[in-house]
Structure formats: structure tokens, C-alpha cells
Structure 1
């Protein structure tokens, strides 16, 4: 083959390549897409054509081991409930092959593939689909309902219905974080959503008057928060009575002791005075003019008739 023939062949091959390039189509899909739980979600994919007469021969939407929607030779031959083309009146000349999810759930999370065949060429694209669900406003329950002075208490914070797994975080009235003392417990429901709970122990020496529980999503953004103002229990009637008894006891006890001491001193003084009087009392017998005779015989004591 001479040089002229080689040049002609090269020109022909380049021409064929250019023709294929002009007929080649592209599939424009967003690689990562996000849906909201309980809402409609759209997985966007659009055919970028180079010819005005391009027709779609086949569209296939799949997840691993699961076929969701298949269009082939002018009709839909397979369709899973809850999935459809984004445009209800879709046909083989419509270049928008986006997939519509009617009611988004956690089960819809995952990798999708869109496989397209047209008269201008074929292409396949992969899409990563994620789902989010907003957490409820946190609720805080106190145990006991009202804190008694100088006693420990517990605050329990809960938030439900969110996805992916989030976190509950505690703050005081000065926005100082207390989360290290109250880790988050997460439970996943049958529907895939998360229930979050966290318990914060309030020590009896705490002087904080307000606590704040905030729920944060998986990206670290704060969604909702709830403040809690600490309540202290009013003094009960029994406590008041006990206080009165304690007060009375504090007053009466010293009085009793002092009274006892005074009574003892008075008694001792009376005994002392009585003894002193007995010692100083004079004899009843005459001091002069004789003496008193006393018979020593048993049972016959006699006094003298007269005194000599």
C-alpha cells in the first residue's frame, strides 16, 4: 500500500471517528443527592444529546440486587411501587430520565445506577443517595420533679424521629458544655429512625439555675434546643413542724439545764441553812440549879419531881 492510500485510509478513519463522536450522547447525573424522610425525592439524570432526532431505546434504574424501573422498546416493562419517571407523561423522546421516589424512607439510602441506551449511544451513571430526617424538639423530664435543697437530681432529655444518628448535648446558663457527663444513647426504630436520650445528674452542690439540652444532627448542626429551669421543692408541713420542734428544742434545752442548776443550788442552799440552824439551836434543858435524872431501868424512864 502506497503513501497515498494510507493517507486516504487515515482520513476515512478520522471521519468515522468524528461521526461517532457527533452521535455520542452523555448522561448528566448528580453523583450525590439528598432526600428528606417522608417527602418526595428526585434522582436527577438528563440525557445530553447531539442530534435532534435522538430516541430513547432503554432506561434502567437499579439498586444492588433490586430493579426499580425499566423502560424498553417504547414501554415500561418493570416498575416497583413508589418509583416512577419524574415526568408522568414521559416517552422515548423525553431526555429527562430522572427517577421520582414517592415517599422517601431510610430504606431508600444507597447506590443507584441509571443505564441508558439511545439511538445516539449508551451510557451508565452511578448516584449516591442519602436521606435525612429532622429530630423533634427535645423534651426534658426532672426526677424528682422539684429538687430538694442539698440533694442530687436527674434530668433526662429525649428527641425522636431523626436520621442519621445525631447527638444530644447539654449546656448550662453560661453556655458551658456539660456533655462529657451525659453521653447520648441511640436506639433505631423499625422504620430506621433514631430515638436519642441522655441523662444528666445534677449534684447537690450545683448552683446552676438553668440547663439547656440541644439536639445536633449527624453533620454537627444544632437543630433544636430546650431550656430547663431548676425548681426547688417548697418546704412541707412536716418539715415546718420539724423546724418548729427543732427551734423549740434549741430554746427549751438550755432553759431546762439552767433551771435544773438553779433548783439544785437552791436545794443545796436550803439544806445548808437547815444544818446551820440545827447547830446554832440552844438546849431545852435548864442550864443551872441541878441536873436531869434519868432512870436507867428498861421501860421505866422517870423525870425528877423537883430539882435540888
Structure 2
């Protein structure tokens, strides 16, 4: 009589009835991940003190294939995903976070006190680089029309740019913001370009700052447009202009005085020459003598 051996293969994550699992809970508190950096997903056991993890697995809710599976002696799946420390708890970490990691996940934890599943979502952001600023015209003149530009790239999701002067007054309402989304091989970004226009710029309010905020209105970066050189040049030009005006005024007044002196000199010389000529003429002398004789009284 032949005998038959039946081998039962028990999966690590085969559902099993364990009354202990009703006495504790699993909680996870994911935070937005940052593209290219390590993302931590904090998870904790609640209402239980002594518990050991046997194994875990993670999958996206819209997929059957697991992202990764990990036990004390085995690991399979995406190497970027793992438990932070199996001995310390069920918290997860994702290294070199990618935008493709965004989505809803089902997380299963098998312990010596039973099994729990929990669902959570992961979002991924990208930090904006320091903005690049420029002006038009290149050399700003106080009191004249001007435009200030601020451009920021590589951020996701789309953020905002705001403008401030040195006193902290907000000039954003006078600006125009353009957002340009891109998706190159799964790498998402939204470029920001802001233009602040002045009909008559007041350099006394400089420096002006453009501040870049992410999609949650948290500051990512900023840059300052310093016009101290322009103000200095304006003051120098004003000083030179004033000096030129003063010198010109002095020259005009000097010219007038010199002209008057020349005219006076010419007049005196002409009078002197006239008197000398008149005195040297014999007819004038005889006329004068006769005039004097006529003016003598009769005896």
C-alpha cells in the first residue's frame, strides 16, 4: 500500500485568525517626499508594547505586484524601498525618491501578535533652485520706466513668486507670473517667471527682493536686486551735472562782467580820443576865444 505525503506550503502573508490582532493598531503618517532625496514614512504600533515584526510588504492600491517584500532573512522588489529598522518598528524609507513613487499604497505588516494592513498616500515635491534675476533696461535710472525679472526652475508642484522692497512692502500686485509645466522622462517641474513693471521706479526703495514659494506657500529660495551702483552712478551724474551747471553759470557771469568792462573801457578810450582831438583843432581854440570875448561885459 502506497503512502501519500501532502506538503503544505504556508505563505508568510496568508490570512490567519489571530485574536491578538484585534488588540493593537498600526498607524502611518507619511510626509511629502522631495525628489532625489530620502523620504521617511513614520509608522507606529498602537496599544501594544511587546511586538516583533515577522515581515512586511508594500504595493500600490491599483497594482497587484508588490513594490517590495522584506522579512528578517529575505528581501525582494525595489531596492529603494525598505524598513528603516525592523527591530525598532514598521517605519519605511524611500531613497532617491522619484515622481513615479507618488500614489496610494497598501502596507501590510505581519507580527508575532497578528497582521495589520493600512492604506496611505505618498506625494512628491521638488525644491526650486535659487532664482535668476535681471532688469530692463540693463542700467536702471531713478524715476524712469523699468522692469524687474525673476525666474525659478526645477520646482514641483507649481509655486509662486512675490516681490518686496527694502522696507518689506509687497509689490506683487504690480507683477505678472507665468507658470510653464514640463514632464521629461517622468521628471516633473513647473518653471516660474515673474515680471515686475514700474512706470517710474524709485531707487530709494531698493534693494528689491523676489521670493520663491512652493505649492504649499513655503519659501524655497530668494534673490535680491541691488541697485546701489546705479544709485551711486545717478548721484555722481547729478553731482557732475550740478558742477557743470555751476561752472557754466560762473562762465556766463564772468563773460558778462568782462563784456561790461570791455564796453566801459572802449567808451572811456573813445571819449579820451574825442577830447584830445577836439583840443588839438585850431578852429575849436579860436572859436572858444571869440566866445569868451563876446561874453566880456561892456564898460
Q: TM-score, normalised by structure 1?
A: 0.56
Aligned to 1:63: 60
Q: Quote the Cα distance in structure 2 between the aligned partners of 1:82 and 1:73.
A: 17
Cα distance change, pair 53–177 in 1 and its aligned pair in 2 (3 A): closer
Q: Quote the Cα distance in structure 2 between the aligned partners of 1:53 and 1:140.
A: 56
Instruction: After TM superposition, give the deviation of residue 169 of structure 1 in Å.
Output: 0.5
Contact 1:45 1:96 in 2 (8 A): yes
Cα distance change, pair 84–187 in 1 and its aligned pair in 2 (3 A): same
Q: Quote the Cα distance in structure 2 between the aligned partners of 1:148 and 1:52.
A: 72
What are the Cα deviations for residues 95-147 of structure 1, in whole angstroms up to 9, with x where unaligned? Answer: 73333211113332332221234453221112232334332222210122103
Instruction: After TM superposition, give the deviation of residue 51 of structure 1 in Å.
Output: 9.4
Q: Which runs of 5+ in 1 are unaligned?
A: 1-18, 252-308
Equivalent residues in 2 for 1:236-275, closer than 5 Å: none
Q: Which runs of 5+ in 2 are unaligned?
A: 1-16, 253-299
Aligned to 2:152: 159
When the two structures are aligned, how many residues end up with a matched partner?
A: 215
Mean CA deviation greater in 153-162 or 21-30: 21-30
Aligned to 2:226: 229
Report the 3-state secondary structure (helix = DSSP H, G, I; strand = E; otherwise coil) of the residue aligned with 1:162: coil
Contact 1:29 1:127 in 2 (8 A): no
Q: Quote the Cα distance in structure 2 between the aligned partners of 1:188 and 1:224.
A: 19
Q: TM-score, normalised by structure 2?
A: 0.58
Aligned to 2:214: 217
Residue 195 in 1 paired to residue 167 in 2? no
Cα distance change, pair 73–160 in 1 and its aligned pair in 2 (3 A): closer
Cα distance change, pair 147–119 in 1 and its aligned pair in 2 (3 A): closer
Report the 3-state secondary structure (helix = DSSP H, G, I; strand = E; otherwise coil) of the residue aligned with 1:180: helix
Instruction: After TM superposition, give the deviation of residue 151 of structure 1 in Å.
Output: 4.4
Aligned to 1:280: none
Instruction: After TM superposition, give the deviation of residue 37 of structure 1 in Å.
Output: 2.8
Report the 3-state secondary structure (helix = DSSP H, G, I; strand = E; otherwise coil) of the residue aligned with 1:161: coil
Cα distance change, pair 81–184 in 1 and its aligned pair in 2 (3 A): farther
Aligned to 1:138: 131
Computing the radius of gyration over CA atoms, which structure comes out larger, 1 or 2? 1
Structure 1 vs Structure 2 CA RMSD: 3.7
Q: Quote the Cα distance in structure 1 between the aligned partners of 2:219 and 2:40.
A: 26
